[in-house]
Structure formats: structure tokens, C-alpha cells
Structure 1
Amino acid sequence: MDMDGDWSLPRPNSLFKVNRRTAGPSLSKSSSIASTFSSLAAPVVAEAVQRAKELSTKSDAEGFHQLRVAFRKLRALYWAYSPYLGDESTAHATEEFKRLAAVAGGTRDWDIAGDLLKAAQQSGVSIEPLMAAAREKRAQAVVHSQTMIKSDDVEAFLNDALLRAQTTLLSRCDGLPIRAFAEKRVRLAQRALQKRSRRAARSEDTHEEDLHDVRKAGKKLRYLLEFFQPVIKGGHGRTIKELTSVQNKLGQFNDIAASEALIRNASFNEVPPEVVQESLQWLIKEKSQRMQAASRQVRAISN
């Protein structure tokens, strides 16, 4: 995760209008591809902008997490509409969403690592100096995130990106019905998840990268089902519930794998090396257990 470089965001001449009073997207089977993009994107943008504004003065862990989730949802939405948005425009926008999510995630990553270190301490591991250092790292991450997530810039960037996308869609697919298009994109996401799940399940020794790929594919599918559920055939509530359950297991594994890497790669000048090593040993043992649980879930959905 590269969070060292600063970057600028464009300021649009005209803004994408977000209806902040709308509780959720209004979709029907007769909606067009272009109009549904606006309906789906607007609430996510509104939440991202509100979270960014709140986090300019607060350091709430859940706020950083939900901001990162909003950017992930926008990446999934842009992927869904990429056949009409074009590869270049989709890649440019999603790269910026990914960058912003990483900035928001810096604080969240240290929150997760801190919670895991507390669990290690409760199990008898003596790592108080490392816990204190992790709290300091978290405080530094908050300052960094707040500095880079300037609410006015985030709002300007999102408005500009979505205005461009909406203009493109109106010129290319205005009037085309959403249902068949949405079902096709969902099927592609389902196939990608199935392919990655089977690849991970076939491997005699589960690899972290394979589980990470399954997790990303599962998130994309879940977000698309949540977006398009009002217009696609069949009830998908059960599928969303099952995906959420799988994601929870994969998320638990990802949390500990990411925390191990975070602590392993960080500099702790005031912490004795043996304390860091003791924490890593606990994390590796816990990671192994969580990997087994995640692998069982992946094998279940691969069938």
C-alpha cells in the first residue's frame, strides 16, 4: 500500500447533482442503463462525501472503514458499467478510488492490528511496549489520512468523475434497458468468483494470494447483487447472505494476514526485537487457524 506520495484531485466546472434526501436508489426493470448508474452512484457518493467531511475532524475507526467500503462499492459499480464507460475511463476512475480507499484504510489497518495485539496479550503474550507503539502508529495514520482526505477535494473529484461517467453513458446507452445488462454483469462476476474459488480449492496447500483473490471476487459479486437486486430475475437475498458469511471468514483471515505484514514491515525503534518477534509468532499461529477456517468456506462455495 503506497501512501507516501501526495496527489491532486481535479475541481470540476459543474457538479454531479447528488440528491441527499434520497434514502436509496430507485430502480425498476424499465429503467435505462444510463439512468440506473445515476440512481446507484448518488447514494454511495453522498455517503463518501459525508464520511470524508466527518473524518476531517474525527478519528472514528468505523468512519474510516465505511469510507473505504464506499470507494470499494464505486469500483464495483464502475466495473459493472465498464462496457459503456470504456476501459481507459474505468481504469482511471477505479485507480483513484483504490488510492482513496488505501488512504482511508491506513487508520483502519492499525485499529485491526491493535485489536489483535490486545487478543494476544489476553492470551498471555507479553507485548505491552509493542501495543503502545502501535497506538502511536495509529495516531500518525490518523493525521496522514486526515491530511490527504480533504473533504472539498474528495467531493470535487467524485462529482467530476461521476459527471463524466453519466455524460458518457447518456451518449452511449441512453434508453437501453437495464435488466439484461445487469444480469449479464452479475453472471460474469459469479463466474469469476467460481473460477477463483475452484482454483483455491484445488490447491493442496492453500495460498494467501488465492484466498485474497476469492475475497475480492466475492465482494464484487455481493456489491453487484445489492445494487441490481431490484431489477434482476430471482431472489438473491440468500446468495447475499451466504456471500456475507464467506466474506466474514475471509475477512478474519485477511485482517490477521494484513496485520502480520503491517507489524513485520513497520519500524519500532523503542520496542525490543524479541517483543516484536513474540507478537509475530502469535499472529502466525492464529493466521494458520483462520486460514483453515477460510479454506473450508472457499471449498464449500466452490462446489
Structure 2
Amino acid sequence: MDMDGDWLLPRPNTLFKVNHRPAGSSLSQSSSIASTFSSLATPVVAEAVQRARALSTTSDVEGFHQLRVAFRKLRALYWAYSPYLGEEATAHATEEFKRLAAVAGGTRDWDIAGALLSAAQASGASVEPLVAAAREKRAQAVAHSQTMIQGDAVEAFLNDALLHAQTALQSRCNDLPIRAFARKRVRLAQRALQKRSRRAARGEATHEEDLHDVRKAGKKLRYLLEFFQPVIKGGHGRTIKTLTAVQNKLGQFNDIAASETLIRSASFSEVPPEVVQQSLQWLEEQKCRRMRAASRRVRAMS
């Protein structure tokens, strides 16, 4: 895991309060760019803090997943507002969001790998020693996540980062209306998705990296549509539904590909090499099948 992007965490402060308002609940077309950032970021921050605190006492599967999702949403939001936040501030914040998401994702990744190995075992593959080893790896990932993600530190970092962002936005775009800005950022995200989808659909063979790029671009666009729906024209419910369906197919493929990489890179001292190899062979077969399904979805979308 890349720790170079670590951003020193300040002491907890109360300068930027979080609450549990639904995202976008106070948005309107007359809102300013600066005020909408606060409205959109605050509930996501509240969820991230709540999830981080809960993980100190529990290893809930969904909790780790939703914490990672919250950090991904914040990365998308910072990208949207980056023209006024500035490159340096955006880079600092998003690198730390990425690092924290990766730490939370370690447990989630072993949950997925363990479930896939159990499916392999149910299909007749003799991988029981690896299933047990994956459970141990998952326990190690939980301990690492709980050590690296402290609720107070996460809250302090998010409060500080958002306070600096809000201060910058108020000084640069406090009176600028949100609607045109939101539509422009959504259009840019749409173009990025279209470009990556066309690249993935080009030629007969689809590369894993291209599908991964489509998946990331699709997530960014979906998050932005969910954030900005109250202020941009046109119903985007169908687009969000389509993106979600494509993301599901891409996610199924990514689960297999990520699990294969995870198992290849891990050390299993008490698991016979032939067991590891059998599991990798099963994963490879499943990956090819899911990759074809994901490619068909992307080609249809492009």
C-alpha cells in the first residue's frame, strides 16, 4: 500500500461541524457554489466519521465497505470543486481519502476473496486450506484497519480539510450560482466515461486496465449525478440506473481480478502450493467469464 500520500492529521477541532442531513437536502438552483459544497460534503463526512468510530469495536463487513464508499464520494466531490479549490489542496485531500479508502478496503478485499474461495470449494475445488488461510488474512486486515483508522483522527482530518476547502470556496466563488458549474462538471465526467468506454470497446480483445478505467469513471459520474440532481436540468434517474447496472457487472469482474491479484501477492506458508494454484486456476476461469459479460455491457453503453 502506498503510504507516501499520508497527510498529517491535526488535532480534533470543532470548527467544522458534521450532521446527518441527506446529501443535497438544501440544494437549490439559487444556491452558490460555495454553499453547496458544505451541504454535499457534510453528510458524507458524518457517515465516514460514524463508520470509522464503529470500526474500533466491530469488524462489520458492510461497515468497511461503506467507509470506503464514503471516501470515494469525497474524492469525486473534491474533483468536482477542484477548479476553485486549487490543484494542491485537491491533491492533498484526495490522496488522503485514497489512502484511508485503501486501508478500509483491505478487510473488504479479503471478505470478497474469502467468499469466492468458498464458492470454489462448493463447486468441488479442493481449496479448504486456503479458505482457512484467507480468514486469517482477513483478521490481520481488520487489526491493521483498526490501528490505522482512528475515529478521532479521521474526524480531525476531515474537519480540517473541509474547513480549509470551505474557506477557499467562500473567498473565490461565494456568489457564483451552482447550476451552470454543476452541469459543466457533470459533462466533463460524462466525456471522460465516454472516452474510456470507447477505448475499452475498441478491437476484439478488451484489456483489464481499460475495464478498470471505465469502472472508475462510471463511479465518479454516478456520484456527481447523485450529488447534483437537485440543481441540474433533466431527470437523471435512468442514467444513474444504467450506470449502476454497468457498475455491477464491472464490479463482479473487478472482485475476481482483485482477488486473483491479492492471492498471487500474499504469502501462505501453511498452504500447499498446488492448492493455491488450483484456486488461481478457478479464479482465472471465472475472471474470463465475468470479463466477457462486463465487456458486453461496456460495448452496449459505448
By the TM > 0.5 criterion, same fold? yes
Aligned to 1:182: 182
For 1:268 and 1:92, the matched residues in 2 are separated by: 36
Do residues 58 (structure 1) and 31 (structure 2) align? no
CA RMSD of aligned residues (A): 1.4
For 2:5 and 2:128, the matched residues in 1 are separated by: 32
Aligned to 2:216: 216
1:126-165 matches, within 5 Å, as: 126-165=126-165
Aligned to 2:124: 124
Do residues 73 (structure 1) and 73 (structure 2) align? yes
For 2:93 and 2:32, the matched residues in 1 are separated by: 22
Give the deviation of 1:8 after TM superposition.
Answer: 4.2
For 2:52 and 2:12, the matched residues in 1 are separated by: 18
Q: Could you tell me whether the CA contact under 8 Å between 2:61 and 2:111 is conserved in 1?
A: yes
Give the deviation of 1:17 after TM superposition.
Answer: 1.6
1:1-303 matches, within 5 Å, as: 1-2=1-2, 8-11=8-11, 14-20=14-20, 22-25=21-24, 26-302=26-302
Q: Which amino acid aligns with 2:170?
A: L
For 1:55 and 1:185, the matched residues in 2 are separated by: 34
Give the deviation of 1:10 after TM superposition.
Answer: 2.0
TM-score by length of 1: 0.97
For 2:39 and 2:164, the matched residues in 1 are separated by: 15
Distance 1:162 1:7, change over 3 A: closer
Q: Which amino acid aligns with 2:217?
A: A
Q: Secondary structure at the match of 2:39?
A: helix
Amino-acid identity (%)? 84
Q: Which amino acid aligns with 1:191?
A: R
Give the deviation of 1:23 after TM superposition.
Answer: 3.5
Q: Could you tell me whether the CA contact under 8 Å between 1:6 and 1:148 is conserved in 2?
A: no
Q: Could you tell me whether the CA contact under 8 Å between 1:51 and 1:63 is conserved in 2?
A: yes
For 1:6 and 1:172, the matched residues in 2 are separated by: 27
Distance 1:7 1:77, change over 3 A: closer
Q: Could you tell me whether the CA contact under 8 Å between 1:65 and 1:105 is conserved in 2?
A: yes
Q: Secondary structure at the match of 2:270?
A: coil
Q: Secondary structure at the match of 2:100?
A: helix
Q: Could you tell me whether the CA contact under 8 Å between 1:196 and 1:210 is conserved in 2?
A: yes
How many residue pairs were aligned?
Answer: 301
Give the deviation of 1:3 after TM superposition.
Answer: 6.4
For 1:134 and 1:148, the matched residues in 2 are separated by: 21
Query: Unaligned 5+ residue runs, structure 2?
Result: none
Give the deviation of 1:205 after TM superposition.
Answer: 1.3
For 2:27 and 2:174, the matched residues in 1 are separated by: 15
For 1:164 and 1:129, the matched residues in 2 are separated by: 50
For 1:178 and 1:301, the matched residues in 2 are separated by: 29
Distance 1:49 1:243, change over 3 A: same
